[in-house]
Structure 1
Amino acid sequence: MRLNNKNEIKIIPPIYIVLVAVFLTNIFVNVELIGRDEPIKFSHFLPNIITLLIFFFVHKIGVSFDFDSDGETLIFKNNGVFFSKFMEYRVKKAEFPKRKLAKYKFNNYGIYSSITIYIKSRRRKGFKKYTFNTTFLSRKKKSGLVASLRNVLDKPKAVA
């Protein structure tokens, strides 16, 4: 099963542009206020602070997600959105055989969701843990992802 959120993340670049425009507009307003005799208050800078916080939040959650379970391997990949047509940045990737998947955990916090996968390793004790952002994955695709991972875990492991 292959799935990605290419259609859902098309909204992220316009949000970046609007946030930058709001930030720059407010900077120009603050520069004009500094030129006057009025004292500058914290409330003049509050919109910029809020805009920056929203920008960093959108930057954190605004990543593409690709999943592929066709064949013998599972492939999970997160990638940045804004410059993704030109270069890969903020890439987080895990590619491993299906037999190494130990468990997974889906976290949904309302406006942020992620999937954590645990991979068995021969070289060290315990599991290797990867977390991937799945915020902009539709509900139907999330349920398909969970069903695919459940199917991988339910299949009997071949003895190597």
Structure 2
Amino acid sequence: MRLNNRSRIGLYHFLSTLVIMIFLVGVLAFFLERYFYDYLDSSSVLFLIIPTLILLVFYFRGRQIFEYDSDGEALIFKNRNIFPFLNKATTDEFPKYKLLKYEILDLVILRRLYITISSKKNNSIILKYDISYLKKKELNDLKFSLSKVIKANKEREKS
């Protein structure tokens, strides 16, 4: 099964540009209110706080582009940001039989996927991916595919 959200790159570019513009307008409004108009007194700090919170939420949600491929004998995970200079892209490829378990951390503003795989030197390695920008159907498809691989691995161990 293949899953990716590359078709929404344009939307993510628009959202990131909008967030940056809201932040810049907020900073400009703060300085204009503080040094020229002075109508709001101490409430002018809200011109900085609200856009900064919006910017932080957008940043902490993580990498926007997630790609998953389970066709063949390997699992391929790719996770990258639309702006390559913000975060390093993550690309992992390993055989299906190494997948031990997965866990999805679902908080209010972010969603993360933790994959546990077996290794020769250590008992297990945990890989982390940002999946905050996946739609509900894509998330359900990802869960189904990973569960199917884990089930096949358990059956293979029994025999």
Q: TM-score range by the shorter chain?
A: 0.7 to 0.9
Which residue pairs with 1:7 in the alignment?
7
Contact 1:8 1:136 in 2 (8 A): no
Please state if 1:75 is matched with 2:73: no
- Could you list the per-position Cα deviations for residues 14-54 of structure 1 after superposition, in whole angstroms to 9, with x for gaps in the alignment? 22222222222233333333434849844212222221221
Q: Which runs of 5+ in 2 are unaligned?
A: none
Once residues 137 and 39 of structure 1 are traced to their aligned partners in structure 2, the CA distance between those partners, rounded to angstroms, is 43
Q: What amino acid sits opposite 1:74 in the alignment? A: L
Once residues 89 and 112 of structure 1 are traced to their aligned partners in structure 2, the CA distance between those partners, rounded to angstroms, is 16
Contact 2:60 2:110 in 1 (8 A): no
Percent identity reads 28
Once residues 115 and 30 of structure 1 are traced to their aligned partners in structure 2, the CA distance between those partners, rounded to angstroms, is 38
What secondary structure is seen at the aligned counterpart in 2 of 1:122?
coil
What secondary structure is seen at the aligned counterpart in 2 of 1:7?
helix
Structure of greater relative contact order (alpha carbons < 8 Å, 6+ residues apart): 1
Which residue pairs with 2:53 in the alignment?
53
Please state if 1:65 is matched with 2:66: yes
Q: 1:136 to 1:33 in 2, by over 3 A?
A: closer
The alpha carbon displacement at 1:152 in A equals 1.1
Once residues 88 and 52 of structure 1 are traced to their aligned partners in structure 2, the CA distance between those partners, rounded to angstroms, is 17
Q: 1:78 to 1:142 in 2, by over 3 A?
A: same
Provide the TM-score with structure 2 as the length reference. Answer: 0.81
Q: 1:88 to 1:118 in 2, by over 3 A?
A: same
Please state if 1:149 is matched with 2:149: no
Q: 1:140 to 1:37 in 2, by over 3 A?
A: closer
Which residue pairs with 1:103 in the alignment?
101
Q: Which runs of 5+ in 1 are unaligned?
A: none
Once residues 47 and 37 of structure 2 are traced to their aligned partners in structure 1, the CA distance between those partners, rounded to angstroms, is 21
Contact 2:27 2:47 in 1 (8 A): no
Q: 1:32 to 1:139 in 2, by over 3 A?
A: closer
Once residues 96 and 143 of structure 2 are traced to their aligned partners in structure 1, the CA distance between those partners, rounded to angstroms, is 14
Q: What amino acid sits opposite 2:45 in the alignment? A: F
Which residue pairs with 1:112 in the alignment?
110
Aligned length: 155
Q: 1:45 to 1:113 in 2, by over 3 A?
A: same
Once residues 64 and 24 of structure 1 are traced to their aligned partners in structure 2, the CA distance between those partners, rounded to angstroms, is 25
What secondary structure is seen at the aligned counterpart in 1 of 2:132?
coil
* More off after superposition, 31-40 vs 150-159: 31-40
Contact 1:117 1:130 in 2 (8 A): yes
Contact 1:106 1:114 in 2 (8 A): yes
Output the aligned Cα RMSD.
2.7
What secondary structure is seen at the aligned counterpart in 1 of 2:139?
helix
